[in-house]
Amino acid sequence: MILKTFAPAKVNLTLHVTGQRADGYHLLDSLVVFADVGDRITLMPAGQTTLEVTGPKADGVPTDGTNLVLKAAALFDQPVRIVLSKHLPTAAGIGGGSSDAAATVLALAEMTGDTRLPDVTALGADTRVCLMRQAARMSGIGEIVEPAPGLPVLHAVLANPGVDVPTPEVFKALETKQNRPMQKRLPQGMKLPAFVKWLAAQRNDLEAPAIARAPVIGDCLQALGALPDARIARMSGSGATCFALFDIRAQADAAAAALASAQPDWWVQPATLS
């Protein structure tokens, strides 16, 4: 049996930091969606578990036990050969490693016939929401995941200027860690203009400290916001990937082509988010 699976990019439309526990973990309230761009994973039974990383973003991706894909595979009693085709930048605020791990868990559950998924807590805060692979509200330290139905289809340009922004440093630089969460009820059934207006009143609390550490993120946001037809620009996660939203996919495609031409060293992709 050979299984091929897709690991979509995770985009935080909002990211409110609402507190910090005594053990140091931060409390979040985030509206998460998933893109139609991502990594690709192939699994096949083998005598022992191995990982090969290929693809345009393979450089620097570990193939040892520190990779979340291998940690995910270790949750099953099924040795496999894994080929990870890496298309998403790493440590980029779009959950690449977490989505890879979640895709591996789902594929191995299918391969082994396990009806109950294993506990993925050890695989990081984003892995649980990445198992859902649809619009969701993520809260607590990432362990509380609830579907967020009724969002409009969103068309976007994703851009990463190629700067390394370690998540712990961004959280450490956040001045206020007791911020307002989103309202209890999230919007449902809104047309895109109304949803963008609602979204503009929300936040990514990590945006400012990330820009302070890597000012090019601010340049990226400015470039996205200046694209023709862009409605809003914001950073995802702890950075450095940012996004801009558009009314239709054709606008996002054209804007992505223009930005990629102007910034050939950036990772730029048009995407549809859902």
CATH number at residue 195: 3.30.70.890
Last residue of a domain, one of 131, 146, 161: 146
Is residue 202 domain-shared with residue 102, that is, in the same domain? Answer: no
Examine the residue annotation and report whether 247 is marked as an active-site residue of this protein: no
Mean pLDDT of the chain: 97
Active-site pick, 10, 57, 71, 86: 10
Examine the residue annotation and report whether 205 is marked as an active-site residue of this protein: no
Nearest to residue 83, comparing CAs of 95, 271, 67, 93?
Answer: 67
With 90 as the cut, is the pLDDT of residue 252 above it? yes
Is residue 172 domain-shared with residue 70, that is, in the same domain? Answer: no
Nearest to residue 214, comparing CAs of 264, 266, 161?
Answer: 161
Whole-angstrom Cα distance, residue 1 to residue 262?
44
pTM of the model: 0.97
Last residue of a domain, one of 97, 122, 146: 146
Is residue 71 domain-shared with residue 162, that is, in the same domain? Answer: no
Is residue 27 domain-shared with residue 161, that is, in the same domain? Answer: no
Is residue 170 domain-shared with residue 110, that is, in the same domain? Answer: no
Helix (H) or strand (E) holding 221: helix 216-225
Active-site pick, 29, 100, 126, 205: 126
Last residue of a domain, one of 97, 117, 146: 146
Is residue 98 domain-shared with residue 200, that is, in the same domain? Answer: no
Q: pLDDT class for 115, splitting at 50, 70, 90? A: confident
Residue numbers of the domain that contains 235: 150-273
Over residues 125-137, the pLDDT tens digits come to 999 999 999 999 9
pLDDT for res 234: 98
Q: How many domains does the chain have?
A: 2
Is residue 206 domain-shared with residue 122, that is, in the same domain? Answer: no
Is residue 263 domain-shared with residue 157, that is, in the same domain? Answer: yes
Q: Six-digit token pair at 173?
A: 């630089």
